[in-house]
Structures are given as C-alpha cells and as structure tokens.
Amino acid sequence: MSIAGDYTIELTATDAAAQPGSDTLLVQVAADACEATQLADELSIYDVNENCIIDLSDMAAFAAKWMSDMSWTGPFAY
C-alpha cells in the first residue's frame, strides 16, 4: 500500500470573539526521497538526467547538450 499522493488538510478554528475562520493546506507525499526532491523542484544542478544519482551519465548528458548547442549567442543553460 502506498501513501504517496496529494492530501488536503482543512483547519477550522474560532477565536476569542467567536469569529470562525478556516484555511486549507495541500500536502504532497512522495513515494521516496528522489520523488520528493523532484516535487520540491530542488534537484541538484549536477543531476542533468534527473534520476537523483550524480554520476558519469550526467556528465555525458551535459556534454551532449553542450556540444549540440551551436548558437554561441548567449549563456548556456545547464
């Protein structure tokens, strides 16, 4: 059973002046640490192929991207 998914939490409270208020919060639960990192959009800039492992395949992907950009007109987004 997987608990991964999106969950909405609603909190309702009443203040001292008997004024009710409520708010909702979206919680995203990931299946593993790699998926959680991808949900938060916080992958390492060195993880070019976005598999949560920084290795030679990332260097190869970086080099291929670099060598295929023949515009030379601006900064390279890597």
Q: What is the pLDDT of residues 11-60, one digit of tens each?
A: 999 999 999 999 999 999 999 988 988 888 888 889 999 899 999 999 99
pLDDT of residue 73: 66
- Give the bridge partners for 22, in sequence order: 12
Instruction: Choose between 74 and 60: higher pLDDT.
Output: 60
Integer-rounded Cα radius of gyration of the chain? 21
pTM: 0.53
Separation of alpha carbons 37 and 41, rounded Å: 6
